[in-house]
Chains A and B, each alone.
Chain A
């Protein structure tokens, strides 16, 4: 692929700033692509609406990692099923890097159609990419001050 990726601010709330990854060949972040893909899917409308509001509420309150789905190096939204209404089946996954309670880097995701991530062609590539992005970012080292990444200009990598 050999594409150049940077980290850009996605959305800022009282207690969490969300960032995302953007590739040089795209005018949208990876997280924008995720929402662009899902906004028109009526079947998942309720899940997508809830996901956006989890982002909003967590943004206002601060993030606690025990809320989220553990996806190896990454985490995923929406929160673990235990934090959702009984009987709900949640198929949508948005992967992210939990940098701190106040800084989150959102990636891409999709609709999970198989029992395991490995078996799902929709989310597997995004899950794999999330692991790669996090490794790259960990190699560089993310510096933060409260809800701000202070070395954002240094956070670029090639894939």
Chain B
């Protein structure tokens, strides 16, 4: 077996989650900025921060606190972090069958290439749900 594969097998779950979350948060904020037509500079100005600070926030170098995420969410008017409880596990069980269906999975796969925000909207359309708190499935990324 190649060393690369051996290392891949030994990577701790914590490391996998950290890298995945760092990229999730980055993608989510960039997608919201894109949706709003804001540059990182605009965002920085509205947050009253320097562009480099925002760049740090968006990158993962900064160990983001819940408070910082809350500030971002308040300004953006969108969720950056989504927890299963908030978005209702019941929706997942109701739509579990459709989530597993080929067409739905294909839709999810396609939408992964777009922003998470856009993906959530598409998923809501597919599952015939109206976007809004408490009725959206969350597991897109």
- Chain A positions within 8 Å of B, measured between CB atoms, are 10-11, 15, 31-32, 35-36, 38-39, 46, 48-50, 52-54, 56-57, 61-62, 80-86
Contact status A85-B15, CB under 8 Å: no
Residues of A near B27 (CB, < 8 A) are 61
Contact status B60-A83, CB under 8 Å: yes
A31–B81 Cα gap in the complex (Å)? Answer: 36
Residues of B near A36 (CB, < 8 A) are 3
A56–B22 Cα gap in the complex (Å)? Answer: 14
- For residue B8, give the distance in angstroms from its CB to the closest CB of chain A: 5
Which range holds the interface residue count of chain B?
20 to 34
- Chain B positions within 8 Å of A, measured between CB atoms, are 2-4, 6-8, 10-12, 15-16, 18-20, 22-23, 26-27, 55-56, 59-63, 112-113
- For residue B102, give the distance in angstroms from its CB to the closest CB of chain A: 16
One of B15, B61, B62, B113 near A53 (C-beta < 8 A): B15
Given contact pairs A84-B60, A84-B61, A86-B63, A53 touches B4 in the complex (Cβ within 8 A):
no
A31–B7 Cα gap in the complex (Å)? Answer: 13
Contact status B56-A82, CB under 8 Å: yes
Contact status A62-B113, CB under 8 Å: yes
Residues of B near A57 (CB, < 8 A) are 19-20, 23
Contact status B7-A85, CB under 8 Å: no
